[in-house]
Structure 1
Amino acid sequence: MELAVKDSGTKLSVSDKIFDREFSQNLVHQVVVAFRNAGRAGTKAQKTRSEVSGTTKKSKKQKGGGARHGALTAPIFIGGGVTFAAKPRSFEQKVNRKMYRAAIASILSELNRQDRLVIVESFDIDEAKTKAMVAKLADFGNAQRPLIVTEDGSENLYLASRNLPYVQVRDVQGLDPVALIGADTVIFTADAIKKVEEWLA
């Protein structure tokens, strides 16, 4: 299939397997959840009653003092342990390479069908100024959440976009499913599209 290159009058030939693939909601959901879980620290930790610092001596006599109880490290007392204490664990979910690439291709195809995928010859600015980035994005309808994907990513683009909320700049190596589905408009350079094709082929 062919995709139009904005403001150039030319078309870019791309693979149907990547940009005209049937959307798989279940696959995309699984990959997105796995990707986000991989970023979780999993370092939450609490102490059980056996780990709390304190004496295990019986706090009062068995009879004549109201409710019977033993150590004050029990969960029902302030400063006691936690009943089902959280422990450090990994949230990682296994997603093989074929599934991950298929999910990326599925998202790209859906973006293309919804006319949210824009291809340009190049996307760069002369100086690392926020106003320069704003002026550049005005040509794309002032999308609220644009994602700009270049082949390598210039430093000027990163610096000019960091003060703009919801504007993301990525190179092809830094592309991920969460960034793609969170963007209103995804702007690719022609070189980046070719590099994505090589990656997903």
Structure 2
Amino acid sequence: MELVITGSNNKVSVSEAVFGREFNGDLVHQVVVAYRNAARAGTKAQKTRSEVAGTTKKSKKQKGGGARHGALTAPIFVGGGVTFAAKPRSFEQKVNRKQYRAAVCAILSELNRQGRITVVESFDVDAAKTKVLADKLAGLNAGKRPLIVTEDASEALYLSARNLPYVQVRDVQGLDPVALVGADTVIITAEAIKMVEEWLA
């Protein structure tokens, strides 16, 4: 399989196994959810009625005072404990390396089928100027949410993209399924596409 390099007569040969794979929606969903869950802190904590600071003494007499109730730390009172209190936990889901790589291949293949992968010889900016990058993306018809993938993204490129909403920059080592799924267009250099292929082969 060959992909045309934009702005050039050259083409880059890519593996059918990486860029021509059948799409597996269930696998992609599983990997994307697992990746996002891995970023969750899982540190939320609430107090039960036994952990709330306060007396457990009966708040009023048994008869003649309205509702019969004991401690004010009960969940029905303001400042009381929480009935089913959240506790710190891990949201991690097990995804093995083979599944992860297969999901990334499936995403790349679907992007390729839909014509949403733009291959360029190189992609960089001379200085950290947002306008320069915006003009460059406009010339490539990158859409509203472009993902720029280079072999080694420069600091100037990162800084230029920082003030553009929905524009993401990744090097090959930082490429992830969530960024790929959320992109309208993937702009990738010829060198980076070879590195991606080598990683996923």
- TM-score where L is the length of structure 2: 0.97
Bigger shift: residues 124-133 or 93-102: 124-133
Identity of aligned residues (%): 77
Matched residue, 1:44: 44
Question: What is the distance in 2 between the residues matched to 1:68 and 1:144?
Answer: 61
Matched residue, 1:172: 172
Please report how far the alpha carbon of residue 191 of structure 1 lies from its aligned counterpart in structure 2 after TM superposition.
Answer: 0.6
Question: What is the distance in 1 between the residues matched to 2:141 and 2:15?
Answer: 27
**8 Å contact kept, 2:75–2:81:** yes
**8 Å contact kept, 2:142–2:185:** no
Equivalences for residues 1-201 of structure 1 within 5 A:
1-201=1-201
Letter in 1 for 2:58: K
Question: What is the distance in 1 between the residues matched to 2:63 and 2:38?
Answer: 53
Question: What is the distance in 2 between the residues matched to 1:126 and 1:40?
Answer: 36
Question: What is the distance in 2 between the residues matched to 1:128 and 1:71?
Answer: 62
**8 Å contact kept, 2:51–2:81:** yes
Please report how far the alpha carbon of residue 142 of structure 1 lies from its aligned counterpart in structure 2 after TM superposition.
Answer: 4.6
- TM-score where L is the length of structure 1: 0.97
Aligned residues: 201
Unaligned runs of 5+ in 1: none
Letter in 2 for 1:164: L
Question: Using a 3 Å threshold, how does the CA distance of structure 1 residues 11 and 142 change in structure 2: closer, same or farther?
Answer: closer
Q: Deviations over 1:23-59 (max 9, x none)?
A: 0000000000011111111111110000000111111
Unaligned runs of 5+ in 2: none
**8 Å contact kept, 2:142–2:184:** no
Q: Deviations over 1:102-122 (max 9, x none)?
A: 000000000000000010110
Please report how far the alpha carbon of residue 64 of structure 1 lies from its aligned counterpart in structure 2 after TM superposition.
Answer: 2.5
Q: Deviations over 1:159-197 (max 9, x none)?
A: 111111111110001101110011111001011001001
